[in-house]
A and B are shown apart, each in its own frame.
Chain A
């Protein structure tokens, strides 16, 4: 479905180039609910956006639906983007504040599926109904909806062109847990109905472990571990994954007194493993060359001395 090979994303900044994604290999199978976790600045959002060609690609390949779209010209890109959609964290920022909800959901249809307006309106209404929004909301503008309602509308809009792949970038992070759980249920139901594939980007490890069927952990622009959630949670192999799990509080267990991971400040990027400066078990080899992802147990881990 989606295959990234040695993907690199580089931004030009006033202080010189900054590489947000540093050679990521990733395979997402059709129908997967793939969770990508990591802390702020680890490059997970850049990776998700780059997968849809929304970021400058500095190297590597993006193969989607069996087609190399790394350098696809605008016409092919337009076709690709009808099959892949994105949902963002802040729906208030991703909707035009002056247009109604119905209008916003109709827009992709207007642009990509020319036809009678009445048919487009019916299709948009059906989508709004499917995501659980009552008809009286369709004439409202975004600010008149709650965060949860507007995120439902964002899902309806993302579904308008019947995509096969959806990249959800922190799509439930800003919501209250009671609403978050409902949106997650909706995403799962839609996957079953429409055979969707998700790249679900989030920072909440517990959430991702609970709902995804495969989890990737990112650190400083690189994937450090990919495995099934059972594996990641019960037996993390990478020291960074271990630190993340130790730090994540749970609402369901009385945790031990907090033992924050002993992580030192992030040093400058070197040729070695990016996590080495903070890693409790780093040794000389880790500082020289970055380890590549290699099979271990049922997953992949980028570490010379996996746990």
Chain B
């Protein structure tokens, strides 16, 4: 078997130092093969976006990080900064949640795609422009030659996100990271953008890491799902296990609770919330971090760190229909 496209080992991310040092991501491991699509799912504050940013080297300056990120055999931590910057533009495409802040309002969208190609793809001015227009066609923008000359504010939210995707895939990256790519969009536009991401991921055989809070989105777009809670992966499962027989394959109580809280569209079906609140990084307990909200938690859960065994971080994983 060939080496995975992306390997993350023992990733830790945090803020502050000395007494105020806080660890948010806590020893996270993940692997994505070439052409494989993986979703990192979790609710606000679980650390999923921070993980994506750490992999792409886009952490804020005051964050600290430890652990290994290996992309295509290259350990990103050992690369000199200039080489890392170049690699990031060429090998990692990043799609942000909010296309309006990801694009520069002062340049036309064509210029912004061409700029990426000139900096990272080494193309000349004319070649870059022609390639930019071709990329806009590829991401489904009608009348691309004319639209290349407009500014971001002249496009709809969906069209802007297509431009962000064109920039992300411009240099044929081997890894595409999409951080909540459709959260700001309407449902019909969301379906179109997810279809576009899935299609270009398959056509280009990229590895895809999709970051989302929405279990509903992963059903369509990925092969594997990693569920995050309070800075840890609590469950890793095939998407089939999640959707076969309405979630019967999910074993971690948090994954199961998340499924039962997600609207099903079945009229009158109960919608079950999860009582309590996520524990903050300053108060991460020694044992299971979900214990205080878990119906089945007992003293064993709280005694020591719970390892991820067979894809589940739980002392007594459950099975069967979750709701």
A residues contacting B by CB (< 8 A) are 39-40, 146-148, 176-185, 203-207, 209-211, 228-230, 233, 243-244, 246-255, 257-261, 263
Contacts and interface: CB of A to CB of B under 8 A. Distances in A.
A247 B220 CA distance: 11
Contact of A251 (B187, B264, B268, B272): B264
Given A181-B261, A251-B262, A260-B195, A176 B44 contact: yes
Contacts of A228: 267
B86 interface: no
Nearest to A174: B44
B190 interface: yes
Given A247-B187, A255-B219, A178 B266 contact: no
Given A176-B43, A176-B44, A184-B273, 12 more contacts: A177-B261, A181-B260, A181-B261, A185-B272, A204-B187, A210-B268, A210-B271, A229-B268, A257-B220, A258-B194, A258-B195, A260-B191
23 contacts: A177-B214, A179-B274, A181-B261, A184-B271, A184-B273, A185-B271, A204-B263, A206-B264, A207-B263, A207-B265, A209-B267, A233-B265, A246-B191, A247-B187, A249-B194, A249-B219, A250-B264, A253-B246, A255-B219, A257-B198, A258-B194, A258-B221, A261-B188
B265 A210 contact: yes
A209 B266 contact: yes
A257 B239 CA distance: 13
Interface residues of B, number: 44
Given A182-B275, A252-B246, A255-B220, A40 B240 contact: no
A251 B190 contact: no
A37 to B, nearest CB: 9
B244 interface: yes
B216 A206 contact: yes
Contacts of B198: 257-258
Given A210-B266, A233-B267, A205 B244 contact: no
Interface of B: 43-44, 186-188, 190-192, 194-195, 198, 213-217, 219-221, 239-240, 243-244, 246-247, 257-269, 271-275, 277
B225 to A, nearest CB: 11
Contacts of A246: 191
B42 to A, nearest CB: 9
Contact of A206 (B192, B260, B263): B263
A252 B191 contact: no
B272 A181 contact: yes
Contacts of B214: 177, 249, 251
Contact of B262 (A229, A243, A252, A257): A252
A301 to B, nearest CB: 18
A258 B259 CA distance: 20
B265 A178 contact: no
Nearest to B268: A210
B271 A252 contact: no
Contact of A176 (B213, B216, B243): B213
Contacts of A255: 219-220
Q: 8 shortest A-B CB distances, which residue pairs?
A: A182-B273, A206-B265, A251-B262, A181-B273, A254-B243, A178-B274, A251-B215, A247-B191
